[in-house]
Amino acid sequence: MKRAYNFNAGPSALPLPVLERAQKELLNFQGTGMSVMELSHRSKEYDTVHRAAQERLKRLLNVPDDYDVLFLQGGASLQFSMVPMNFLTEGKIGCYILTGAWSEKALKEAQKVGLTTVVASSKEANYTHIPALDDVKWPKDAAYVHITSNNTIFGTQWQEFPDVPADLIADMSSDILSRPFDVGKFALIYAGAQKNLGPSGVTVVILRNDLLERIPDGLPTMLDYRTHQKSNSLYNTPPTFAIYMLSLVLEWVEEQGGVTAIEARNRQKAAVLYEAIDESGGFYRPHAEKGSRSLMNVTFTLPSEELTKAFLVEAKERGFIGLGGHRSVGGCRASIYNAVPLEACEALASFMNDFRRRFA
């Protein structure tokens, strides 16, 4: 069986041992005579899966005791709305730092709910870097500060998380679990699963419990974080199979040596591709400035549209899948999430070098 070199931006590569395990357990999960998908979400077998996923995530990210892990649906996109609906209360201001298309979308949803302000942005520079916060004038009545930790489309990433004078909320959809960080620095973190965590269908939310006291009454039940916190994300039927897969992915990360070991590998993988770019004599042009480069999404263009197109066509023929840039920006993007092996990055770098020699 030949597995593709999968550089998809999400849904994206999953660890092979995870897929094999799911395959093995598919028809008869732990002697139940049925698949995980067929278990009642109220059964003790499913409950064990659900709790194991929460516990593993807490362990891997060193989540402090006063935080809860929720499993929601609606993708990271629903969090763009839920965050302001729950926390952008009357008279408060939602502060947004714009670092790409996903932060813009988060802001747009917040604007429908309450007062917002953009405290920093790199939009003018076509999102080639993460903006500095030295000159920010923070409003006194900030509800929260929202950031996107990794910008999937532009290929930039916060290298260090900022100190801000209000609760920090982060969309970590495309880099959660790729490197260690201090969860305690954040009031709330959310991430769609389909990059580093598992298949699509589940959204992870990690939130500090005291935030729940600020939630106004009268929200639709399903959009109120308290509903899910109180019921341990079992208020209604959760995406049981996606949570099972998440649990297997987390087990795999533990087997790899945890998030510190994963980060070391991710740095190695990204270095291989950035080296192919940096040593190409300007043939491959990186989108991101050096100090803001993402370890997850490596974005670049070639000297012309024609060459970019030819590169993508040939890459695909050779089994490198998903290298086209996001439809809004074009160019090339290699998404190298946790499950993408070093070997895939080395093969791609070697193809890039070969292509450059022929076309430069």
In the complex, which residues of this chain contact ligand PMP (CB under 6 A)? 10, 75-77, 102, 148, 152, 171, 173-174, 192
**Ligand-binding site membership of 42 (annotated):** yes
Point out the catalytic residue in the list 92, 195, 224, 269: 195
Q: What is the largest distance, in Å, between two alpha-carbon atoms of the chain?
A: 64
Point out the catalytic residue in the list 58, 92, 167, 171: 171
195 is catalytic: yes
- Measured from the CB atom, the residue of 176 and 187 that comes closer to ligand PMP is 176
The least distance separating ligand PMP from the CB of residue 155, rounded to whole angstroms, comes to 11
DSSP class of residue 282 equals T
- The residues, ordered by sequence, that sit 6+ positions from 80 with a Cβ below 8 Å of its Cβ are 105, 106, 108, 109, 110, 171
Q: Looking at the chain, how many residues does it have?
A: 360
- The residues, ordered by sequence, that sit 6+ positions from 184 with a Cβ below 8 Å of its Cβ are 64
Are 18 and 196 spatial neighbours (Cβ–Cβ below 8 Å)?
A: no
**Ligand-binding site membership of 76 (annotated):** yes
**Ligand-binding site membership of 193 (annotated):** no
Tell me which residue of 202, 205, 246 sits closest to 226, measured CA to CA: 205
Q: Which residue is nearest to ligand PMP (CB)?
A: 75
Cα–Cα distance measured from residue 10 to residue 102, given in angstroms and rounded to the nearest whole number: 14
Point out the catalytic residue in the list 58, 92, 102, 224: 102
The least distance separating ligand PMP from the CB of residue 52, rounded to whole angstroms, comes to 23
Q: Which residue's entry shows tokens 């870097």?
A: 129
**Ligand-binding site membership of 158 (annotated):** no
- Measured from the CB atom, the residue of 10 and 239 that comes closer to ligand PMP is 10
- Measured from the CB atom, the residue of 75 and 324 that comes closer to ligand PMP is 75
- Measured from the CB atom, the residue of 10 and 15 that comes closer to ligand PMP is 10
102 is catalytic: yes
- Measured from the CB atom, the residue of 75 and 155 that comes closer to ligand PMP is 75
CB atoms within 10 A of CB 297: 30
**Where does residue 319 fall: left (phi above 0), alpha (psi -120 to 50 degrees), or beta otherwise?**
left
**Ligand-binding site membership of 152 (annotated):** yes
92 is catalytic: no
The least distance separating ligand PMP from the CB of residue 74, rounded to whole angstroms, comes to 7
**Ligand-binding site membership of 237 (annotated):** yes
| Token couple for 299 | 């974005």
**Where does residue 31 fall: left (phi above 0), alpha (psi -120 to 50 degrees), or beta otherwise?**
left
The least distance separating ligand PMP from the CB of residue 24, rounded to whole angstroms, comes to 28
Tell me which residue of 111, 136, 106, 110 sits closest to 121, measured CA to CA: 136
The least distance separating ligand PMP from the CB of residue 174, rounded to whole angstroms, comes to 4
Catalytic residues: 102, 171, 195
Q: Residues annotated as binding site for L-glutamate?
A: 42
Q: Residues annotated as binding site for pyridoxal 5'-phosphate?
A: 76-77, 102, 152, 171, 194, 236-237
